[in-house]
Structure 1
Amino acid sequence: MTLRRLRPLPVDGFPFRLTIAGTLLAATAFAAAPQLGAQVFPGHDTNAPVDYAADRIELQDKQDRVVLSGNVDVRQGELRLRAARTVVNFTNVGSLEIQRITASGGVTVTRGDERATGDVGVYDFNRKVITMSGNATLKRGNGDTLRGGRFVIDLRSGVSSASGGRVSGTFSVPKNDSKKD
């Protein structure tokens, strides 16, 4: 992804915007991990601009990163990430390209009525993958819940996998109004 600009823009209450464009690498396959019964965050536009706000923003040019701290709120399309702290890593060879956002401290990723939480969240832009770890939970508006040590959400396919110790959850059952024996 190419970072075209980093400048103050008032966008829906977000004072800064990172505009992302370019081709992403294909996501790698996930092996032998339980999958959530339904897709999570399907159809997410990984090429949408990334808007962010925080109490403090620090550009660390020599380390090719931006550190956001205090009430961090990051949005890309309908996807929203909240955390106490994030580090945005980028490459700076000719043009800026975002590689990864690493969030820590009460990380919550939401889209519509779907919510993923964990102690740490990593959004790998090249692979189009979000990884949540440490007390990870996925919840859907219909009541489906999945808990585990680690979740991997493939934004390209919308499929999530869980691992890291015992995985548990609750799946809702559709109500059937007809009386069948």
Structure 2
Amino acid sequence: MKSMAIAGASFALTGLALVSTGAGDTAQAQALANHNSSAPVDFAAGSIEVQDRADRVVLAGDVRVTQAGLTVTAPRMTVAYTRSGGTDVNRLDATGGVTVVKGDERASGNVAIYDLDRRLITMVGNVQLTQRGNRLNGGRLVIDLNSGRATVDGRGAARGPDGNPVQGGTGGRVTGTFTVPERKQ
């Protein structure tokens, strides 16, 4: 298998700062792109299949990808790459229930796509974003590593790929819980 390096993935919620958009079904949290994208990437899976003619690698069976404190886990991932003077990873597609963890921050969803060229992580289906006691739930989460913005909306929350309602979905709305420190009265 050819040597591959994945250029940067990170998210860090700072206090899960919620910004009201007035739309009622979108929430934004502040995220920081402070991940060391030059760090080595480690893959672990039950099986790794290189599909060289298709410029992709398929990882299956308890897949775990780590880089500088960032961990992505899923039952299956496909890594797309190009070969222009070396091997350049462009995209990670993870399916079957995906979790992204860095420090005390965690994002989970049914499917995740990490577009390395655009520096976007998109998670769809039963999305949950947590930090300490704070939590946002929705249908889709987009983490923009360029701007440092994480957006949760209700798209994808109400229906699964078969068109039926998703168990535990939010019905197309964003919901959440925020912890409030005890105040002296």
Structure number with higher strand proportion: 1
Match of 1:154 in 2: 144
**2:178 aligned with 1:171, yes or no?**
yes
Q: Contact (CA 8 Å) 2:5, 2:89: kept in 1 or not?
A: no
CA separation in 1, counterparts of 2:51 and 2:120? 24
Partner of 2:67: 76
TM-score with structure 2 setting the length: 0.75
The answer to whether the 8 A contact 1:60-1:66 is kept is yes
- After superposition, the Cα gap between the structure-2 partners of 1:147 and 1:21, relative to the gap in structure 1 and judged at 3 Å, is closer
CA distance in 2, matches of 1:174, 1:46: 35
Distance 2:179 2:138 in 1: 18
Question: CA 1:116–1:21 in structure 2 vs 1: closer, same or farther (change >3 Å)?
Answer: closer
Q: Percent identity?
A: 49
1:134 partner amino acid = G
CA distance in 2 between partners of 1:45 and 1:159 (Å):
18
Cα distance in 1 between the residues matched to 2:180 and 2:7: 41
Residues 131-170 of structure 1 show CA distances to partners (whole Å, capped at 9, x for unaligned) of 11011110111x1100111000122343210121211111
Cα pair distance change 1:170/1:21, threshold 3 Å:
closer
Q: Could you report, residue by residue, the CA deviation over 1:102-125 in whole angstroms, capped at 9, with x for unpaired residues?
A: 000110000011110001011111
Equivalence map 1:119-130=2 (5 Å): 119-130=110-121
The unaligned stretches of length 5 or more in structure 1 are: 7-17, 23-30
- 2:99–2:107 contact (8 Å) kept in structure 1: yes
Aligned match for 2:27, one of 31, 34, 45: 34
Which of 10, 19, 22 is the matching residue for 2:5? 19
Instruction: Please state whether the residue corresponding to 1:83 is helix, strand or coil.
Output: strand
Q: 1:82 to 1:41 in 2, by over 3 A?
A: farther
| TM-aligned CA distance change 1:151 to 1:21, over 3 Å | closer
Alignment RMSD (CA, Å): 2.1
| Separation in structure 1 between the aligned mates of residue 152 and residue 38 of structure 2, nearest angstrom | 26
Deviation at 1:47, TM superposition (A): 3.3
Contact 2:49 2:57 in 1 (8 A): yes
Residues 5 and 88 in structure 2, CA contact (< 8 A), matched pair in contact too: no
CA contact (8 A) 1:44 1:156 kept: no
What TM-score do the two structures reach when normalised by structure 1? 0.77
Q: 1:136 aligns with which of 127, 132, 149?
A: 127
SS of match in other structure, 1:62: helix
1:118–1:136: 8 Å Cα contact kept in structure 2? Answer: yes
Secondary structure class of the residue paired with 2:182? coil
